A and B are shown apart, each in its own frame.
Chain A
Amino acid sequence: MTESVLDLSNLVVSLGRAADSQRIIDGISLHLGERETLCLVGESGSGKSVTALTVMGLLPKGALVPTGGSVRLAGEQLLSASARRLRELRATRMAMIFQEPMTALNPVVPVGRQIDEVLRAHTRLDARARRKRILDMMEQVRLPQIERIFASYPHQLSGGQRQRIMIAMALVLEPKLLIADEPTTALDVTTQKQILTLIRDLQRDHDTAVLFITHDMGVVAEIADRVAVMREGRLVETGSLDTILRIPTMEYTRNLLSSVPSLVPRSPRPESTEPVVLEANELGKIYRERSFLGRTREVVAADDVTLSLRKGRTLGIVGESGSGKSTVARCIVRLIDPTSGGVRLAGREISELSRRLLQPHRKRIQIVFQDPYRSLNPRVNIGETIAEGPINYGMKRADAIEKARELLELVDLPVDSIKRYPHQFSGGQRQRIAIARALALDPDVLVADEAVSALDVSVQAQVLELLDEIQKRLGIALLFITHDLRVAAQICDDVAVMQHGRIVEQGPAAEVLTRPQQAYTRALLDAAPGRGWDFANFRPVAATTAAV
């Protein structure tokens, strides 16, 4: 057994100091040894981040208070430590990296100097020694052209580079404990993979203990030695990675794992001979920025995108951020106007129609957005929201409200909630409402733009199931935009992979996701975290499919 680095015993964190105040963390005990990675998993609101902040002594003052238990870092009590001692410990013994490196870095100070501040505050090295140490650290986090990056501002770096800077800053004083709070969630899969590898390598070289917080089972499978599952402030179970993934004892863990969509595509449906409802032909979108002196900068967001979708089928567009997949979705729904190419909806060209002429066709294609908290007007009750479309197309108000009721039933929400306002629903429920709004116009095509990306896996599974059921029942065609290959594998018949605004590979999901022809698709699949595990069946993926 290695030396203990972090010990939480029976930790309780409450909302306020009063004895009866609500417990956000309710009796958590964890143990983390040297050179070990403990993954803290759980859905949103499970208390993962609060646990990390408690260890760091960074809880919002007065709002959240540790009211019981103990936290020991290498034997030293943290809950009773003075603010000054904690400040000392925070750089030298423990460090933390966050989800969004852009907000964690100071935008007006070059990154090299930001790392330097840590050294100046906690060491007595002279300027030259500090600089050498920083450059050395930047080399270790595998940043290119370290001299240039040393003098760069955060906005001049990519998301991955910024996260590397954060890691360099966290590890420059060789702390014993590194807390990583969803450090790769905001990154693309290929970057995520590099960062995960980096954290693992650095941990080995520096003997650091890592407390890794994530909601993503794939990431867990990549990096964890041991796993702790949390739910509603309590520890559900802990165990080694293998034990948790293979033989989870608790019902909640089993359900959580079963909800993770498999990377192995679902068995293909028979070829469809239904009519084509949506076609995009050589669709292009160029953003032009005209600067003051008349120079024009062009950004090609989508180029030569050709897609076709048959009734009752699902076409996925997958790609990393900035690949142009959302631009394509918006062009197709005509929320933005394409600069070239065409969109045919049920045989009718709609890309060049004016607003007025487009109106009768608009109802045939509807869209569901990513963020369930912003896609519904908070001031309008959900019945009115769903009925808005039909009323726009001449339905009588009473009939439209009646239709809204039916749709609520269709998306599994209680009919009597029709007069409620969006803030009274959870994220998953709001997404169901958004789906109901889209379905209210009986569209031929439903575009889902990252519609399940903001949801927890269990809720995500339910919404995917709902979409599947609706498709079976209504014969609707789905255009499914996602960055998540797992989701794509489970819902799509066909998949188009986009990169830099172009489609690099297109074909049946079973083909593209198991026998990719293009290097980029292979790289994407390769980077998908936890690709070696079939979570739902509690075993590694069979050798035949994993070997691709």
Chain B
Amino acid sequence: MAIDTLPQPSIPITRPFRPSLGFLTATPIIAAATICLLLIVAMAIFAPWLAPHDPLLLAPAQRLKPSSAQFLLGTDAYGRDLLSRIIFGARISLLIGVGATVFSISIGLVIGLFSGFFRWLDAVLMRIMDGVMAIPAILLAIAVVSLSGASVATVLVAITIPEIPRVARLVRSVVLSAREEPYVEGAISVGSSLFKIMWRHLLPNTIAPLIVQGTNFCASAILTEAILSFLGAGISPETPTWGNIMAEGRAYFQIKPSLIFWPGLLLSVAILSVNLIGDAARDALDPRMKQREGGKP
């Protein structure tokens, strides 16, 4: 009889579907993007030690100075050190990018899980999500900020809200297909609580698509913050962010173009890096791109 042989004990215990970080160095371009992003993150974290001057210190006598040994990138219209402002600006940009991603994913995940799992909630929640989705993101952000005043918190809220429906829809679609799997029915029949079924059997299915969605949104959140600041609807002008450095620099563009060039360059590099890493994550995690061990085609 064809004995149903077991893999020998020497076969290592391998965990399926464990997203590995190996993709971060898959190609030279992605490796470069990873390095750039790490440098920007380090810059944001160590800003107080890296910045040569106080980014808020006004020095009218030093306004619009060109690059010099004292001010590496020169000064802005109020005599503040441009380099220091850019270094501190990275903090707000990354904070908004990461914060908006974390909040939108946490809230969207819960909504998506519930509407995917409970049929009676589904119609109500998803219609609300449709409604939110119909509002243009920038417009909503401007409205929220102008209603409740400019601060990091309001900008965060303003950027997070429009993203929630997208996350919720994504999670819902994953949950809808996963809940039909026999292993979920198996869990129901061994008496697992709804919470346990969601946490243990449904939630893990959403991780890979959320990583992909998250990185892409992180980049667009950084950009949205910059746009809001540029439009004057963002964080108050004295706080340095890449967006409002550029907004202020706009008036002096012809005298001193570097006021726009440097923050613009960093913004582009940051967004490009996050986007490239997001694309790499999608390629590494999407089963259609790469068939993983233990998964069916």
Contacts and interface: CB of A to CB of B under 8 A. Distances in A.
Interface of B is mostly: loop
B295 interface: yes
Nearest to A389: B190
A417 B9 CA distance: 7
Nearest to B178: A377
Interface string B172-215: 00000000011101111111110010001100100000000000
A414 B190 contact: no
A35 interface: no
A392 interface: yes
A96 B1 CA distance: 31
A367 B184 CA distance: 12
B184 to A, nearest CB: 8
B190 A388 contact: yes
Contacts of B204: 379
A287 interface: no
Contacts of B22: none
Interface stretch (B12-20, B28-36, B239-247, B255-263): B12-20
Contacts of B189: 333, 335, 362, 365-367, 438
Contact of B6 (A371, A425, A459): A425
B2 A393 contact: no
B190 A422 contact: no
A476 to B, nearest CB: 15
A380 B200 contact: yes
A392 B188 CA distance: 11
A231 B15 CA distance: 31
Contact of A437 (B2, B11, B17, B190): B190
Q: B interface, how many residues as a size bin?
A: 20 to 34
Residue among A335, A376, A379, A423 having the largest count of chain B Cβ atoms under 10 Å: A379
A393 B6 CA distance: 31
A374 B14 contact: no
Given A255-B2, A459-B2, A373 B296 contact: yes
B183 A392 contact: no
B192 A421 contact: no
Contacts of B201: 377, 380
B13 A419 contact: yes
B182 A392 contact: no
A393 B186 CA distance: 15
B1 to A, nearest CB: 4
Interface in A400-424: 413-414, 416-417, 419-424
Contacts of B131: none
A363 interface: yes
A423 B294 contact: yes
Interface stretch (A150-158, A260-268, A302-310, A426-434): A426-434
A369 B185 contact: yes
A461 interface: yes
A131 B189 CA distance: 55
Contact of B190 (A363, A369, A462): A363
Contacts, number: 117
B30 to A, nearest CB: 26
A114 interface: no
B196 to A, nearest CB: 7
A321 interface: no
B190 A366 contact: yes
A420 B13 contact: yes
Contacts of B13: 381, 419-421, 424
B4 A392 contact: no
A456 B1 CA distance: 11
B15 to A, nearest CB: 6
A448 to B, nearest CB: 13
Given A416-B9, A441-B191, A259 B1 contact: yes
Contacts of B9: 414, 416-417
A424 B12 CA distance: 10
Contacts of A4: none
A393 B293 CA distance: 33
Nearest to A386: B190
Contact of A376 (B183, B188, B196): B183
Given A388-B190, A392-B193, A392-B196, A377 B183 contact: yes
B7 interface: yes
Interface residues of A, number: 55
Residue among B1, B185, B187 having the largest count of chain A Cβ atoms under 10 Å: B1
A375 interface: yes
Contacts of B190: 362-363, 366, 388-389, 392, 437-438, 440-441
Nearest to B187: A388
A378 interface: yes
A359 B191 CA distance: 6
A462 B4 contact: yes
Contacts of B192: 388-389, 392
A373 B182 CA distance: 9
Nearest to B193: A392
Contacts of A458: 1-2, 4
Given A255-B2, A392-B192, A429-B4, A369 B17 contact: no
Contacts of B294: 378, 421-424
Interface in B38-69: none
Contact of B191 (A380, A389, A417, A434): A389
Contacts of A335: 185, 188-189
B17 A379 contact: yes
Contacts of A417: 6, 9
Interface in A348-362: 359, 362
Residue among B6, B7, B293 having the largest count of chain A Cβ atoms under 10 Å: B6
Contacts of A252: 2
A407 to B, nearest CB: 13
Contacts of B7: 420, 424-425
A424 B11 contact: yes
B15 A421 contact: yes
Nearest to A232: B2
A377 B189 CA distance: 14
A437 B294 CA distance: 20
B293 A423 contact: yes
B231 to A, nearest CB: 44
A429 B6 contact: yes
B200 to A, nearest CB: 7
CB-CB nearest 6 A-B residue pairs: A423-B294, A389-B190, A375-B182, A369-B182, A428-B4, A377-B183
Interface of A: 43, 231, 252, 255-256, 258-259, 333, 335, 359, 362-363, 365-367, 369-371, 373-381, 388-389, 392-393, 413-414, 416-417, 419-426, 428-429, 434, 437-438, 440-441, 456, 458-459, 461-462
20 contacts: A231-B2, A363-B190, A369-B186, A370-B182, A375-B182, A377-B183, A377-B200, A378-B17, A388-B196, A389-B190, A414-B9, A417-B6, A422-B294, A423-B295, A424-B7, A429-B6, A440-B190, A458-B4, A459-B2, A462-B1
Given A414-B9, A458-B2, 9 more contacts: A333-B189, A374-B182, A374-B183, A378-B183, A389-B190, A423-B14, A425-B6, A426-B5, A459-B4
